[in-house]
Amino acid sequence: MNREWIKVIIAAFFEVCWVVGLKHADNSLTWAGTVLSIVVSFYLLVKSGEKLPVGTAYAVFVGLGTAGTVLSDIAFFGEPFKPVKILLIVILLAGVIGLKLVEDEKKGEEA
């Protein structure tokens, strides 16, 4: 695993932080943390895209981000575990990842 992929993973971590913040922030400190997380997440994702194939990096990022938000919902905020809902989220995620990977495939063919 190289530095670029570590950036993607840290970006996804901050992505989950700001989603939690957008829902639960209730004072200036938590809102500041939310905005900071958005900036850090974006910055790292854009930076990693300079070296990695953008579609693949985004696919990994969004996969980790979605898994993180769903798990945080259930683990920390008492959201009930509904298999049908999780399945639909997984299907949606598969669509997003598929779309992003097709983009890299296409660029690979052009190159």
Partner 1 sequence: MAWAALVVAGMFEMFGVTMINKLHKDKSWQPFILLVAGFAGSFLFLAYALQTLPMGTAYAIWTGIGAAGGAITGMVLYGESKHWKRVLFIIVILGAAVGLKLVS
Q: Could you give the CA distance from residue 22 to residue 65 in angstroms, rounded to a whole number?
A: 14
Verify binding: residue 95, partner 1, rule CB under 8 A.
yes
Which residue is listed with tokens 């945080």?
Answer: 72
Q: Binding partner 1 by CB under 8 A: which of 17, 20, 44, 52?
A: 20
CA dist., res. 78 & res. 81, Å (int): 9
**Which CB, 29 or 91, lies closer to partner 1?**
91
Q: What is the rounded CA–CA span in Å between residue 26 and residue 34?
A: 11
Is residue 106 a contact point for partner 1 (CB under 8 A)? yes
Calpha distance 94→97 (Å, rounded)? 5
Tokens of 105: 């495939």
**Nearest distance, CB of residue 5 and partner 1, angstroms:** 20
Chain residues binding partner 1 by CB under 8 A are: 19-20, 22-23, 38, 42, 46, 62, 65-66, 69-70, 72-74, 77, 79, 82, 84-86, 88-89, 91-96, 98-100, 102, 106
